[in-house]
Each structure stands twice: as structure tokens, then as C-alpha cells.
Structure 1
């Protein structure tokens, strides 16, 4: 399995964009509900209230969700529970969980809750939108609006031209799924989406936010990442707008690497390996002097096992040859 396929991760960027662009999310995925909300009034995220009810983060569920207070056009206040199921697989308990969250919120706060769901899995035949209970003549029917990202697969061309940022995010999700085992194809799609970031007249922060989502979703092998980075530099040079190539971009990259180094993803996370390479390089330089380009290249291309082995040898080796002699 390729590095990109093994480490696709959707939850954190979805969570960020859910909070940064909630009105646009509602307009794109739930236009009927969006049309009933007075967006001139402030909408407020009730994350403290939600965390008292939803404990999936503790049980390993990969979701992005939010509880939001909005005002309808008729002036009434309503609470919206938005649930993004991003674990990428069929879950037979999903509808039941939606029902449980809804009644727990109602039970605690004595107010009706609008529950909405976005599904990012790849099972075309799975689209739960209801949960029913019946016993001895007593029945309970729970229905909730649900959007399936896979349903947009035949609208990719339209997604690329849509000015709503969630159209581009949906396209990125679909291209990521389509190229799970084809990093070269993923590189081509990612490059195309990055170019589109500059064509909608979005402000600098919106471009940075969207790039962070696309970059997180569409992981590439290091060589292709470097090629894409050069492409981005060229694009921003042409347009005279140093957005992604700014200090903020570098901070995002460092943050991802540090998170990965702490075990937030499985496998040999690039951030973890890079951190170990930098540490070993510093120790080698301190003991044996400046490293040649050949040694530096060998370090950057090393596997996790090699880095561990060389680090152990550093304690007793009398020379660089002693550290790197694998025979």
C-alpha cells in the first residue's frame, strides 16, 4: 500500500472548515435548511454543550461534528447538530447514533434539535437517513437529512467551477478516494485544485484554509510533494501573491509534522521521520563535523529502521563509516 493510501486522513481538516465556513457548508450541502436561517444574525458554536453529550472522541470514532445556535428568518432560535461521518466506512450503528445524539441533546436542553449528516464513505449502497423503534403499539420514527459525498462523483467538472469552498473540498475528497493507489494521478489532481484556489477571488485567509484541507487530504510521496511545492511557487510568482508560500504555510506544515511525530497517524509519519533525521544529523555533525551531501541524502532517504540502527551505532562508532556500515 502506498504512503498516500495508508495515511489519508479527513477528520481534522473537515472540523476546521466546518467551523470556519459554516454558512457556506449549509448552503452547499443543505440548501433548504440554509434558506430558512437568517444569516445576518450571529450563529454560535455550542461546543461545550455538545461535548457533554457526544463521547465518540473517546471511543475512537472519526467524526467532525458541531452544535450551532442559529436564528431562523421568523425570528425563532434553533439549534442545529451537524454530524460529518468521516471514518470512510460503512457503520451499521450510524442511524442509531444519530438518534441517540438527538434525544440526548433534547433530554438535556429541552429543545428540538435539527440533526444533519454528511457521509464521506465509499459504499454507494449505504445512505442511512432514519431510525425507527416500535414495541407493543408504541413507535418512534426519526428522520434526518443526509448528504453523501459519493453522490457528487458525476459532477466533478461543476464542483471545480463552483465558488462555494465546499465544492472544492468535495472534489478533493473524491479525487483522494479515486487515487488511493495512484500517487501520480493524485499529484495531477492536487495540482489542478491548487491552481483553482486562485481563480475564485477568495481572500488570503480563505485560500490558506482551503489549501490546508487539500494538502492534508491529498497526501503525496515526498518527491511529488517537492514537485508540487515548486509548482505552487511558480503559480504565486505569476500572480504576485505569496499566500501559500508564506510563513503561515510553513507553520501549518510544521504543525502537521509535530502532530504526526506524537503518533496521531499510523505508520512512518513523515513528520516523525523528518524529526528523527534532523536529530541524527545534528548529533553526527556535533561528533564528526559537517556532513557531506552524500551523507545528508542518505539520511533523508532512510527508513525508520535504518535511522534507529544508525542512532544506536553513533554511541560507539569511531567514524561516519562505522555508523553507516550495514554489512
Structure 2
């Protein structure tokens, strides 16, 4: 299962494309996503068979009238453990802002997808905004003709922060990041603290696939963007915190988000500067040795050389052995 996603050229904290971020994290961690939101459905799905995402080919047909909106909707084709050829369409809607008639639009998706494919549909609407007022039900009644359509609705801010922190479910960390983003829109210092803790928590997880960890780290890093100066300070703080684990980071370098790549770059820069300093020191030491060799060749005694060069007599004797 692979979703093509272009990395942003500019790491700008004021420009966060939530649609793309959510679309990527759901595709990359779809099994964990389903386990988090609909564990009953997750238990029925056979994840040994590939999950297919149909949003690109399907949404062009069913929402052509919605030009200009960046679509974060996804439709995943999954297979059940029953072994039947039957598959379920999971319609995922990421809503960052309330829209008028949202429930009606969800119903329109339902009947258009059902008409096109004739398959069972599970609809999930996730609201990342804290002030959502949209309902999870569409109802229409007219002279004895009546229809009610209900879908799964989740509001990120409704989840308990402490429970998310304790949760062993991987996708809980993505929900935490979304909560932190909403809480710190005008509080960048708090965002930096939350981001550092969350990145560290994810980095410390055990038994997590490399691709899954990378996807989650990217999501957190880009969703919780910081101003340049605070981002640079965060890099320094993280570098000090993970001292001794740099080799592990190097193994994952191609899959790391900007903040952790910055940690490696800072480590390399400091190593380069340290190497220069050591080279200078070694050069000075070598120069002193050459002077001492000259004094020895002219018959100077070790005690006198030690006093002049500010060295111990024992050190001078070691240098004399090199001369021989």
C-alpha cells in the first residue's frame, strides 16, 4: 500500500496543508487508523491482502460539481476474513471547517458510491476542528416518503488527552498531534514543548515498522510546525536529548522529517568543527615536538627542556625515545 505524496519545498509554520497530511497518514497507517476508530470492523478485515485506495478514480466521477476544493476523501477497498470476494468501501472524510449541509453531502457520496459499485459502505467523518457543529445524520421527509442516513462521526477534540497518551494504539499519537495543534495555534512555546515530547515518544516506540514510524514522525513534524528560530532551538534540544542514539538516526535518515534531519546536520557540523579544533591542536603539538627535537640534538638536558616547554620530565623522556 503506497500513497504518492510530495514533500513541501518550504517548511513554513504558517502554511499547514492538513488535507494532504491527513490523507497521507491515513493511507500509510490505514490498519492502525481502522483499529483506532472502528475496532469492530478492523477485526473483520483480512490485512494480509492488499488495501486499495480508489479515491482518485472514483471522486472524479462523483464530485465533479465540487470544483476548487482540495479533496481529502479516501475510499479504501478491503477484504474480509470470510474469504469472500466481497469488499467494503471505507469512506473517510477529513473536515477541518464546518460546511453547510455536510450531512447531505455525506449522503450524496453514499448513494453515488453505492450506485457505482453496488458494495457495502462504511462512512467515517473525522473533524479536526474544535468548533464543529455538523451532525452525523441526514434526514429527509416528504409526504410519506422518508429517509434517514447515519454515518460514523468523530471529533478529535472529544478524545481524552490522558487516554491517548496511555493508548498503545499507534494512531493515538496522530490524534494527539492534532489536539496539540489546535491548542497551540497562538502559543508556539507550548507547541514546541508538546512537539518535542511527542517526537521523542514516537521515536522510543518498540515493535514499530520503519515505514510506520517515518509516516508518524512526518505527520507530527509538519502538523506542529514552528517559527524558524524555535525550530532551530528544538533541533538543538533534541540533539542533546538523544545523545548516543545518533547512529540509529543515521540508519533512518532517508525517512526522517526535517526536524530530525536537522539534528543529524547539526551533529555533522559540530563534528566537523571539533575535527578542525583537534587538527589545530595536533598541529601545535607536532610543532612543539619539532622544537624539542632540535633542542635535544643540540645537547639540551631533559629537565631544562621540560621547564622551558612547560612539560613534565617524563613527557620529555617519551619524546626523546621518538627521536631515537
TM value normalised by structure 2: 0.68
Q: What do the CA deviations read for 1:35-66 (whole angstroms, capped 9, x no partner)?
A: 22233333222234423334379634344221
Q: Tell me the distance in 1 between the aligned counterparts of 2:91 and 2:55.
A: 12
Gaps of 5+ in 1: 255-327
Is the CA contact (8 Å cut-off) linking 2:52 and 2:76 kept in structure 1? yes
CA root-mean-square deviation: 2.7
Indicate whether 1:22 and 2:27 are aligned: no
The size of the alignment, in residue pairs, is 247
Q: Tell me the distance in 1 between the aligned counterparts of 2:179 and 2:156.
A: 8
Indicate whether 1:167 and 2:175 are aligned: no
Determine the structure 2 residue equivalent to 1:75.
83
Pick the aligned partner of 2:161 from 150, 156, 167.
156
Q: Tell me the distance in 2 between the aligned counterparts of 1:58 and 1:142.
A: 21
Q: Tell me the distance in 2 between the aligned counterparts of 1:31 and 1:248.
A: 29
Is the CA contact (8 Å cut-off) linking 1:63 and 1:83 kept in structure 2? no
Q: Tell me the distance in 2 between the aligned counterparts of 1:75 and 1:96.
A: 34
Q: What is the deviation of 1:217?
A: 0.7
Deviating more after overlay: 135-144 vs 40-49 = 40-49
Q: Tell me the distance in 2 between the aligned counterparts of 1:247 and 1:70.
A: 30
Q: What do the CA deviations read for 1:111-130 (whole angstroms, capped 9, x no partner)?
A: 33222221112116x25111
Determine the structure 1 residue equivalent to 2:63.
55
Q: What is the deviation of 1:210?
A: 1.2
Determine the structure 2 residue equivalent to 1:132.
139
SS of residue paired to 2:25: helix
Q: Tell me the distance in 2 between the aligned counterparts of 1:12 and 1:57.
A: 21
Is the CA contact (8 Å cut-off) linking 2:94 and 2:125 kept in structure 1? yes
- Judging changes above 3 Å, is the alpha-carbon distance between structure 1 residues 96 and 157 closer, same or farther for their aligned structure 2 residues? same
Is the CA contact (8 Å cut-off) linking 1:159 and 1:171 kept in structure 2? yes
- Judging changes above 3 Å, is the alpha-carbon distance between structure 1 residues 250 and 95 closer, same or farther for their aligned structure 2 residues? closer
Is the CA contact (8 Å cut-off) linking 1:169 and 1:214 kept in structure 2? yes
SS of residue paired to 1:64: coil
Determine the structure 2 residue equivalent to 1:268.
none
- Judging changes above 3 Å, is the alpha-carbon distance between structure 1 residues 148 and 251 closer, same or farther for their aligned structure 2 residues? closer
Is the CA contact (8 Å cut-off) linking 1:130 and 1:144 kept in structure 2? yes
Is the CA contact (8 Å cut-off) linking 1:168 and 1:193 kept in structure 2? yes
Is the CA contact (8 Å cut-off) linking 1:127 and 1:146 kept in structure 2? no
Q: Tell me the distance in 2 between the aligned counterparts of 1:93 and 1:13.
A: 25
Q: Tell me the distance in 2 between the aligned counterparts of 1:165 and 1:62.
A: 27
* Pairs within 5 Å for 1:40-51: 40-51=48-59
Determine the structure 1 residue equivalent to 2:215.
209
SS of residue paired to 2:195: helix
Q: Tell me the distance in 1 between the aligned counterparts of 2:27 and 2:115.
A: 25
Pick the aligned partner of 2:152 from 145, 148, 157.
145
Q: What is the deviation of 1:145?
A: 1.2
Deviating more after overlay: 209-218 vs 48-57 = 48-57
Q: What do the CA deviations read for 1:170-208 (whole angstroms, capped 9, x no partner)?
A: 001001100111110111100110110122112333222
SS of residue paired to 2:249: coil
Q: What is the deviation of 1:101?
A: 0.8
Determine the structure 1 residue equivalent to 2:203.
198
TM value normalised by structure 1: 0.68
Q: Tell me the distance in 1 between the aligned counterparts of 2:66 and 2:192.
A: 34
SS of residue paired to 1:59: coil
Q: What is the deviation of 1:250?
A: 6.7
- Judging changes above 3 Å, is the alpha-carbon distance between structure 1 residues 194 and 164 closer, same or farther for their aligned structure 2 residues? same
Q: Tell me the distance in 1 between the aligned counterparts of 2:235 and 2:252.
A: 9
Determine the structure 2 residue equivalent to 1:107.
115
Determine the structure 1 residue equivalent to 2:94.
85
Instruction: Report the structure number with the largest CA radius of gyration.
Output: 2
Pick the aligned partner of 2:232 from 223, 226, 247.
226
Q: Tell me the distance in 1 between the aligned counterparts of 2:176 and 2:39.
A: 18
